[in-house]
Structure formats: structure tokens, C-alpha cells
Copies of this chain bind each other. A is one copy, B any other.
Amino acid sequence: MVKQHQHKILDCTIRDGGLVNDWDFSVEFVKDMYRGLSAAGVEYMEIGYKNSEKLLKGGASGPWRFLNESFLRDVITKKTDTKLSALVDIGRVDENDILPREDSLLDLIRVACYIKDVDKGLELVQKFNSMGYETSINIMALSHVMENELVEAFEEINKSPVDVVYIVDSYGSMDHKDIDYLVTKFQRLLPEKELGLHMHNNLQLAFANTIAGASKGVTFLDSSVYGMGRAAGNCTTELLLSYLKGARYDIRPVLEIIEKHMITMRQKWDWGYLIPYMIVGALDEHPRTAMAQLSSDERNNFVDFYDRLTSVETAPIVNKN
């Protein structure tokens, strides 16, 4: 059994699940989520994105994408031991939107970026850190990153005040050997940083990879209730709560959230182990093609979809010059 006291569960249902339903969450649902996660002993709840409405085209999505502080105060009327986090994307956040931590309900700001933007990500981290926030940098799409890029990024990260560095399996393509390799490398090259894992479930390995990492000493474990998250979704919060046994955690309040909300939500929106997501995971590709497939009339034409993704384009490329 994994010792639970060193781990922190970060539930990202509202943030990553919002990518499934365009943040169509009611205030009642988010209130129930915060109450339930608090009662379950979950350490962090990611309540959305703190991106800027001005910087996002077509920004008609719900308030959970922009997290206005006065709106947030209407939702979270009583703060518990469960801290709140928000994710920001490079180029989509206006730093001036963000209050100093003492004036904010947020505790942790996480910066998501690709490896090529780690320097920009760390600039944001520096800013948020100076405003009093806990910070993380979440390096996406790690399965497509070369060793030399990673080592360069680590040098910058080591100079930064960032608290947590996340291994993000954006394409849901990693297995236990990849986790073993990456966690070992991150631990060796980032000895002063806490590590986090954010896994996707395309190959039904999100929970397995998360507990494999936890047993190697990764402390921040991302999950979502009933696995709700983009495409194949995430490691489920209920599985983590049942696995990381100990006085701190109680699965019961999360079962209540699932019973009250998630079963009907799952009937309305798609996430989880769907074959197109499995296929892109196995091919180590971005899920966007699978999401398009599932929104089309062809949603269950798996063989066509597979053939399209694996065919070698044989038409000659004509040089027009």
C-alpha cells in the first residue's frame, strides 16, 4: 500500500471535464463538487481555467473558463481545507486579471505549456509566485519531446521558484515503462521540485500509471470524478480515494457526486474508453481527430477511422514552382 500522507489528490473535473461539455456546469454542480471533494479529503480542486476572455476567440463558454473572482465568491461561500487551483495557458492569460493571493480564493496557479514554451511558462510562474501563489508548470505532450529539449528545459526550471513540475500524458499513450523512465529522470534532474502526474485514459492506463508514479514518490496526483475529462478522460478520483487508503480519505462523498450528477452527465456527453480515443492513444496522437469522428455521423466507423490515420498518403506532391 502507498503511504497516503505524502500525496495530494488534485481533482480537475471542472477544468478538464469542461473540455468535454464546453464548461456547461451549473453553479449547484460546482458547489456540490467542492463540498464533496472537501468531505472526501481531496487536497486540491481545480475549479477552471483562469484565461482571459479578451484573448480567447469565441469565448462564449461558461464562467469556469475565466474564473472571475467576484463570481467565484458567490460559488465558494465557505473555504474548506481543500485548496483551489486554476490552470492558465501561455498566450491566453492576462496577468492583470489576477489578484494577489491574499485577495483571491485561488491557492495554486498551474501553467500549461509545450516544451518549446517552457521559458514563457516560467515567466508566468515567476509572476504568480511573486503574488504569493503556489505554482506548477505542466509540460504537455511529453511523449513527443526529445531528450535534449527536456534537459534544456530542466536547467531553466531549476532556476525558477516553481513548486511542482507535472508530467502530462496529453495523448494517453504512456505505459508503466514510460512512467518509470520519466519519473526517474525528473527526480534525478529536478531534485528540489515536487512532481505531479496528469494522465489520460485512452489505453485504460491512467489509474495504473498514476499509482505507479505515486509508488515512486510523485506527490501531486491529478484525477477527475468518474474520469470526466477531455476525450478518454482521466484517472478517476474515486479509484485514487479507494487506493490511497488512510484516515484522510473517504470515497463516500464522491460516490454521492457520481450518483447525483455524473451518470446523467455521461448520458449527455461523451468521455472515457471509446474506440476512436483508444486508436489515437495507441498511435500516440492528439485526440482532435477522434473528437471530430465522434461528433460526426460516422462515429462508430472504427475501421475507416483507423485506415485514415494509418494510411500512407501516396498521391504525388507536385512542385508548383
Contact = CB atoms under 8 A, between A and B. Distances in A.
A236 interface: yes
Given A242-B282, A259-B302, A303-B259, A205 B203 contact: no
23 contacts: A175-B211, A176-B176, A176-B208, A177-B215, A203-B207, A203-B242, A204-B206, A204-B207, A204-B236, A207-B208, A208-B209, A238-B278, A239-B282, A242-B282, A251-B282, A251-B306, A252-B303, A252-B306, A252-B307, A255-B302, A256-B302, A256-B303, A259-B300
A301 B255 CA distance: 9
A175 B239 CA distance: 12
A251 B276 CA distance: 13
Interface in A7-33: none
Nearest to A205: B208
Contacts of A209: 208
Chain A contact residues, majority secondary structure: helix
A212 interface: yes
Contacts of A175: 208, 211, 243
A263 interface: yes
A109 interface: no
Given A251-B306, A259-B302, A302-B255, A204 B275 contact: no
Contact of A259 (B204, B239, B256, B301): B301
A212 B208 CA distance: 10
A215 B256 CA distance: 38
Interface in A209-229: 209, 211-212, 215, 227
Contacts of A255: 275, 279, 302-303, 306
Contacts of A272: 273
A173 to B, nearest CB: 10
Contacts of A306: 251-252, 255
Interface in A242-291: 242-243, 251-252, 255-256, 258-259, 263, 272-273, 275, 278-279, 282
A263 B270 CA distance: 14
A209 B256 CA distance: 29
A201 interface: yes
A274 B242 CA distance: 15
A65 B104 CA distance: 63
Contacts of A201: 204
A275 B206 contact: no
Contacts of A236: 204
Contact of A204 (B176, B204, B302): B204
A279 B254 CA distance: 12
- Find the residue from A208, A211, A236, A272 having the highest chain B CB count within 10 A: A208
Contacts of A239: 203-204, 278, 282
A199 to B, nearest CB: 11
